[in-house]
Structure 1
């Protein structure tokens, strides 16, 4: 394995989570007797350019041609997108906005200017077009970016939220962004911050869809390799701690915020290898604590069910070896997943109404990053004395 950003063979192990199926490959009842392919989930960091990465064992086409994730099923995420559009419009006043990996139109539906989504998943892009959001079904690379620019003109604002980690060809994707954006335009990228992932034990966000994990320093290097220059950064609470990177197609003096975040990363040891020491041990503790809780609850005759069926949840379930004998089902608001089974662990995914019917003692919240939203949504669990359980960053019981 060589680094996909700098091409060096100087990769050092951070944490090895074994082998798991792709996290969004939910099974139908008819597939339960079929074999499931699994792939190593081993995070490494390049000592030279600092990019944290997984080996590219599956392709984006394997995952995103038909996709199980629809952004609009998270009301807090839709509101996050609405606020971003309002702020970006006030900052830039764009006449043409392009979003890459635009999903079901959750963001572009708020844009008043001319806009275009580029979404590789056929089923998700169709949902966006039903909302009236113009959407091209394609993966972004240099050629796609150039074609869109030729047909629609350069974009004043290019948005790439929660996709920069999902592409193994960093150079091709970044040059595609450069092709899309006007020479005086802006590129906005949101991506989970490796500083939060390591510091808050967020190891369940390591899965095969995420080919790499960024510090601001490694993102700065990746952008520069494609002809974009980091000029500003914002810290965000989304996904347990993300960064919004603002880049332009010309060199400019970065803001003080860039220097501040880089200093925090360096202080945490993420500009060398020291900051990763002990991470694998903390990951193992999360696993042990969750298994101990589930086994103790079962021994005491208490019922535990899951809430949510996110990709991160499938990393956690597979790493911990959790099966239907100790977690009989989970629920999800996305009807696409109803009647299906989680990859690897084969846990049934049901409609959310099942929780009120069964009145379990505990609800294990798998999308812990939506904590505030879900504590409100699940407040009714407290009516029968039930509790919510959050496994990350450390196991915590909450009475809603």
Structure 2
């Protein structure tokens, strides 16, 4: 599906960066499994010059996005776990000591967030289409609905009226975020609170992380575009914070408009010239990293079997002589990428990996990987793009 209208203000959204045959990410192949038919597709990043909101120009169908062995579970990701802790800390700062009657988590994944807030909530409901065709995890006191939020009547849930709506890293996957926010505001109780978190486009630009533009994320919210969207949907700003180490995430608490809260703080609108300038810097860094990979001391191994590694390889122009990606998760040993000639191996199964060049391939976990490598002391260590 091609897109031309801005998802925030409805104005024209036009191409700013072309991404021909951008690889699909998160497609792992377990031993004996074969690659899906589609592993890459043409894509482009659009920008609205009116409100500065960025979004993808094409929305791929779910049967392509989630083909093969697509996998992500919050509790299995160190980065996601720390992000959840940051989120619950923000909730406590916004509503200190408050006990809620019924919380709904839009995009509940493996219920990790709902488990963390169990002590301060009566009823809990999780909504996520990943459980439409699979048995959901069982958690006492939690009802799981395997559906998109758009298909659920939030006013008729088993747990009763909703006074807390949570949504972490889900709104960016939605083609019509305006409809989801309005649906949540219409359903929440008069004294209810909504807390949303999305990856921040401001931080993506600042850190030159254009490898974080991928098919699954349809929307790229800046602080300015997110604040505008909430206000136009009838939301009233309560508080916000940025989590710079976790996708530059923007966390925002809001409620139904009452006129009692201050307006959202002002934020600069992203401009086309600004995006192009940062992308040109990114391209120079990517080309320099690609040259270092080409001349790297052999053997070359990656460290960190990240979902976004195919995107990183795309922007670097390949991964040189790399054939193996090391990962501390033993359950991934022997996995392959559907669109890269790489095998995932546990370090204990790769003798001599310290003798050459180790490339940090999970950029969002660069800090813990660097700590590990400082102890292991490989001959050379390469951190692509040089941002932590």
Fold shared per TM-score above 0.5: yes
Moved more, 350-359 or 65-74: 350-359
Q: CA deviation at 1:348?
A: 1.7
Structure 1 residue 197, shift from structure 2 partner: 0.8
1:118 counterpart = 2:121: no
1:73 counterpart = 2:76 = yes
In structure 2, distance between residues paired with 1:245 and 1:336: 36
Task: Indicate if the aligned counterparts of 1:26 and 1:337 stay in contact, CA closer than 8 A.
Answer: no
Distance 1:124 1:335 in 2: 27
Which digits, 9 at most, give the CA deviation of each residue in 1:250-301, with x for residues without a partner?
Answer: 1446658x426x1xx35xxx1x33322312312211221221111111xx4x
Which runs of structure 2 are paired with 1:177-256 in the superposition (5 Å)?
A: 177-252=184-259
CA contact (8 A) 1:99 1:108 kept: yes
Which moved further from structure 2: 121-130 or 72-81? 121-130
| 1:85 equivalenced with 2:64 (yes/no) | no
Q: Give yes or no for the alignment of 1:102 onto 2:108.
A: yes
Shift of 1:133: 5.1
Q: Secondary structure at the match of 2:184?
A: helix
Matching residue of 1:276? 275
* Farther off after superposition, 196-205 or 97-106: 97-106
Q: Secondary structure at the match of 2:334?
A: coil
Q: 2:303 aligns with which of 296, 304, 307?
A: 307
SS at match of 2:367: helix
Displacement after TM superposition at 1:389 (Å): 2.6
Which string of whole-angstrom CA distances, capped at 9 and with x for unpartnered residues, describes residues 343-366 of structure 1?
Answer: 422322233544676335332223
The answer to whether the 8 A contact 1:160-1:189 is kept is: yes
User: Which whole-Å CA distance do the structure 1 matches of 2:65 and 2:342 have between them?
Assistant: 20
Structure 2 partner of 1:48: 50
Q: Which runs of 5+ in 2 are unaligned?
A: none
Question: In the alignment, what sits opposite 1:349?
Answer: 344
How far is 1:125 from its partner?
7.6
Runs of 4+ in 1 over 6 A off after TM superposition: none
List per-residue Cα deviations over 1:190-225 (Å, max 9, x = no partner).
112111111211101100001010111111232244
Structure having the larger proportion of residues in helix: 1
Q: Distance in 2 between matches of 1:225 and 1:125?
A: 36
Residue 229 and residue 309 in structure 1: after superposition, are their counterparts in 2 closer, same or farther (change >3 A)?
farther
Partner-residue secondary structure (3-state), 1:282: helix
How has the CA–CA distance of structure 1 residues 110 and 318 changed in structure 2, closer, same or farther, with 3 Å as cutoff? Answer: same
Q: Within 1, Cα distance between the matches of 2:112 and 2:349?
A: 27
Contact 1:71 1:106 in 2 (8 A): yes
TM-score w.r.t. structure 1 length? 0.82
Q: Which has the higher strand share?
A: 2
Shift in Å, 1:233:
1.4
- The structure-2 alpha-carbon separation of the partners of 1:57 and 1:282, relative to structure 1 and needing over 3 Å to count, comes to same
The Cα shift of 1:96 comes to: 2.3
Instruction: Find the counterpart in structure 1 of residue 12 from structure 2.
Output: 9
Residue range with higher mean Cα deviation, 195-204 or 328-337: 328-337
CA distance in 2, matches of 1:8, 1:167: 18
How many pairs were matched up? 378
Alignment RMSD (CA, Å): 3.1
2:371 aligned residue: 376
Contact 1:360–1:386, Cα closer than 8 Å, also in 2: yes
Structure 1 unmatched ranges of 5 or more: none
Give, in angstroms, the shift of residue 321 of structure 1: 3.4
Distance 2:107 2:349 in 1: 32
Aligned partner of 2:384 in structure 1 is 391
User: In structure 1, how many angstroms separate the alpha carbons of the residues matched to 2:366 and 2:142?
Assistant: 29
**Aligned match for 1:317, one of 313, 316, 327:** 313
Q: Give the secondary-structure state (helix, strand or coil) at the position aligned to 2:321.
A: coil
Please give the TM-score of this superposition, normalised by the length of structure 2: 0.84
